[in-house]
A and B are shown apart, each in its own frame.
Chain A
């Protein structure tokens, strides 16, 4: 009975809510998508309503498993049934009900009225057909046009999405395109028939941040010129803040809060929305004391908690939260801002409460002590071999091209850069997990690079690594106890009855987990095991190779806090490898920016973010969206052109010059200098701890809209 009244109530709200505005272009009503599995019914989407207007961008935000993609897939009929069932739901495109149409009619709408782009443009394009033909096929499927005409249209479209030399490119295969190019090609395909709605499922997640900025800008431009409605499905709140008009936040298959972007970010009313926002590291904030992670993990969709699905992880939950599923209700009558939380006032109060002062945590350098890690002129080249019968070396990929780093005891140095810049290779070469081509590494004054195999194994006690992928870094056939005990066996140290349980306790895992296998754990828990393995036997130095980038937002904060606690507790020295500048701003003491095998800028954290000197650093920082629509509106982005060059054949002189925005503004003589002379890292006038490798370096404020007062 209670359920019924609720349903009616929410429908009333919907009717009245829409009555006040023009009819939406695309509308999803009470959609349910369930999957029958052996583990029970998985309610991937469980009663979801959303709509999008012409020219508008709606963002559907959620963590993995929240059901955010499934509702979009359902619209296009891409969810196979069986196993999926659709207990209820309507999809209306300009009032026409899609799901009730015969399949042949639905197909006519797909790609024509509603188009979609996907996360991974490599796997989303058919590898055996030419890119141009794949776009032409989209045209041919919906327009009466000759094959030649469709091919010509494909070339035009490629040109329109900013692919240079489109005529030649159309004849290439997807693998000959870079990641960003492929996503452009996907967009060209999606736009081929001028659709009314574009569903973009994590369109930039697989891309580097500077490329992400290009792609998002392209989408914005196309939306402006064509009036396309965009449904942006993403986990990235920063992207949402800068690009969405309205937001729907999903949790465990339901929308828990929806409203305009400003409403969601400035006055969140659902505890989950609030939790997401406060667990985010922000690039424009100097380091707060601690992130506030959401405890636990998102629930299994086959065992969703009773009542509000979020209550087991919620700081505000009361017994009432466990009883009924709260309905999505407007904050005031007829408002578009709706939430499904019983305690909106508590959330509002928590949001309004002053945060623990964002102390610009003073950099904890201990200038008196010698650095723990000294890396000098480190080079790692991978030979390229070719030849008919006998493979000769014909060149090399210059992954790391002479880098110098020093890390002071108890501090964190971050090595940041886009994929392929050599940061992970550098880390592995420092640890000699890959043999460096040349250069020296010293750990606590002892040279690592000259050790023989046996001494190297012993030396590993003091240099450890936490890997990026918690799913791949634990041997699936060993229990957690075996994994951890192995280190003691190999590096000495005694394992007593309590050793393993103490270790697990240190990383926040219950001792009873010790005899389980890795596959029984979630990603975050596995990463804790990886950390436990690294910190066992108290190493001096730990490399953190993108330790949180494979994790959900709410879990990232848990792991980051753990890493910080451990650093303080055990005096660990970290080398943090990352591409996510927000996390870097949070965790680092010093930051080194890498581009194509070399360090282009190295500075103390705040100095780097507030006063970046290198044009690449500036472009990188400006490309990272900040999860605050107010800040985002005031910021400008520096667009880099093209892709990262091939490290087997880097540009002469300054390696960044081919993409450099500043280079374009220089006089011919100055340009020639960039081409001829490779810039070396030199001290900047502003700080004795800030070096930059640019002939024409100069400060540019890119973090916020207007320059901060010095």
Chain B
């Protein structure tokens, strides 16, 4: 085990007979210290040291902490939406439209006279629900198909990969428009549309991981002690393959939130009366250049930005913490 720091990898590490393996920099430093039996005693039970390392690396990333706070806030808003909204977000008041923010309507009222503050919070709930449900479903479908394609290979691999080719040939929004137009406007069609055109990337990622791990020696080792295919996939491949897939999924929540807003902005997403951020923006479109009406579009725009940034920061932090070598990569 080379005990040199990773930055000097060019120098000594490759010049030895000792293959320097995938263990990260911190790992190599620690394993090198495992010399001669005597390591400081570590607590035996509880979470393995890996998670603490990941947390320690994650904690150092300030943007990731900001992201964690934002995501936490969004989840809080989503759960307590009925309590937190001072007005019914659906309730229109045509006598009091486009009112600027005041002490009663913190964010003012929109073109239909709805309370913007309540509408934004309701929008947060929608964003979290659609984001999380869509990504979980894409994850489920993508991981299963990806694992089958990668592990089974041959016919299944060809079939599933050609299928992903077809779905990936549609830009997400364009594909989603197709599906939503077919099934009608609403939350469920939006989720279906985003899953239908979202699973393929997850599947490819999972397939790549599975393919690499399938040939790994520890999978061969598992087979050599009589492990079945199912056990190999669940116990040996999945835990090692899943990290980048999860990171991708987290990044994807932001993408899904934006996609939903985009669809609504184009008029094909949720029904017109639902206070959704994209809808609010499209309703505010005509007022963009109107002085004194910037609250109509600024609040929903900010809400979308903060949400996507929050998830992006968390995903970035996770990626760097899970694998320091991926830092700054794509």
Contact = CB atoms under 8 A, between A and B. Distances in A.
B37 A510 contact: yes
A302 interface: yes
Interface in A226-284: 233, 235
A519 B31 contact: yes
B225 interface: yes
Contacts of A479: 48
B24 to A, nearest CB: 9
A37 interface: yes
A387 interface: no
A202 B222 contact: no
Nearest to B213: A475
A525 B12 contact: no
B326 interface: no
Contacts of A468: 217
B4 A465 contact: no
Interface in A275-326: 296-303, 312
B226 A300 contact: no
Instruction: Give the interface residue-count category, chain B.
Output: 35 or more
B79 to A, nearest CB: 32
B88 interface: no
B214 to A, nearest CB: 12
Contacts of B222: 475, 486
Given A458-B226, A471-B19, A471-B23, A465 B12 contact: no
A433 interface: yes
A65 interface: yes
Contacts of B36: 296-297, 312
A63 B30 CA distance: 19
B273 interface: no
Interface in A467-520: 467-469, 471-477, 479, 486-487, 490-491, 510, 515-517, 519-520
A56 interface: no
Contact of B3 (A296, A301, A476): A301
Given A312-B36, A520-B30, A120 B5 contact: no
A298 B32 CA distance: 8
B21 interface: yes
Given A65-B2, A83-B5, A300 B22 contact: no
Nearest to A486: B225
A205 B7 contact: no
A464 interface: yes
A64 B17 contact: yes
Most chain B beta-carbon contacts within 10 A, residue among A300, A302, A516? A300
B271 interface: no
A472 B11 contact: no
A302 B15 contact: no
Contact of B29 (A302, A472, A490, A491): A302
Given A464-B225, A465-B221, A70 B8 contact: yes
Contacts of B239: 475, 477
A486 B8 CA distance: 38
B330 interface: no
A679 to B, nearest CB: 34
A523 interface: yes
Nearest to A526: B31
A523 B16 CA distance: 13
A460 interface: yes
Chain A contact residues, majority secondary structure:
loop
Most chain A beta-carbon contacts within 10 A, residue among B26, B50, B218, B227? B218
A491 B18 CA distance: 33
B225 A460 contact: yes
B159 interface: no
Interface in A520-534: 520-523, 525, 530, 533
Interface string B125-149: 0000000000000000000000000
B225 A35 contact: no
B323 to A, nearest CB: 12
Most chain B beta-carbon contacts within 10 A, residue among A64, A80, A476, A479? A64
Contacts of B31: 519-522
B1 A523 contact: yes
A65 B32 CA distance: 10
B169 interface: no
B227 to A, nearest CB: 6
A118 interface: yes
A80 B10 contact: yes
Given A79-B8, A80-B7, A491-B225, A517 B50 contact: yes
B152 interface: no
B50 A522 contact: no
A490 B227 contact: yes
Contacts of B226: 457-458, 460-461, 487, 490-491
Contact of B11 (A39, A73, A467): A73
A675 B222 CA distance: 44
Interface string A75-86: 000111011100
Instruction: Give the interface residue-count category, chain A.
Output: 35 or more
Nearest to A458: B226
B217 to A, nearest CB: 4
B33 interface: yes
Most chain A beta-carbon contacts within 10 A, residue among B3, B44, B235? B3
Interface string A545-589: 000001110000000000000000000000000000000000000
A63 B22 CA distance: 20
A632 to B, nearest CB: 20
B22 A471 contact: yes
A560 B290 CA distance: 83
A64 B1 CA distance: 7
Interface in B6-62: 7-8, 10-19, 21-23, 26-27, 29-37, 39, 42, 44, 48-50
A452 to B, nearest CB: 13
A623 to B, nearest CB: 18
Contacts of B34: 520-522, 525
Contact of B21 (A68, A471, A510): A471
Contacts of A201: 15
Most chain B beta-carbon contacts within 10 A, residue among A80, A297, A472, A491? A472
Contacts of A461: 226
A216 to B, nearest CB: 17
B48 A84 contact: no
A41 B225 CA distance: 43
B125 to A, nearest CB: 35
B7 A35 contact: yes
A111 interface: no
Given A477-B240, A517-B48, A530-B221, A35 B5 contact: yes
B236 interface: yes
Contacts of A82: 7
Nearest to B50: A517
A431 interface: yes
A40 to B, nearest CB: 9
A173 to B, nearest CB: 21
The 4 closest A-B pairs by CB, nearest first: A64-B16, A471-B21, A69-B15, A457-B226
10 contacts: A42-B4, A42-B8, A44-B11, A68-B15, A69-B11, A461-B226, A517-B48, A520-B30, A552-B16, A552-B17
Given A205-B17, A301-B3, A477-B240, 18 more contacts: A42-B5, A73-B10, A80-B8, A118-B15, A119-B15, A202-B15, A296-B35, A302-B32, A433-B220, A465-B220, A472-B21, A476-B218, A477-B50, A510-B37, A520-B31, A520-B34, A522-B35, A525-B34
Interface of A: 35, 37-39, 42, 44, 63-65, 67-70, 73, 78-80, 82-84, 118-120, 123, 201-202, 205, 233, 235, 296-303, 312, 428, 431, 433, 457-458, 460-461, 464-465, 467-469, 471-477, 479, 486-487, 490-491, 510, 515-517, 519-523, 525, 530, 533, 550-552
Interface of B: 1-5, 7-8, 10-19, 21-23, 26-27, 29-37, 39, 42, 44, 48-50, 216-218, 220-228, 231, 235-236, 239-240
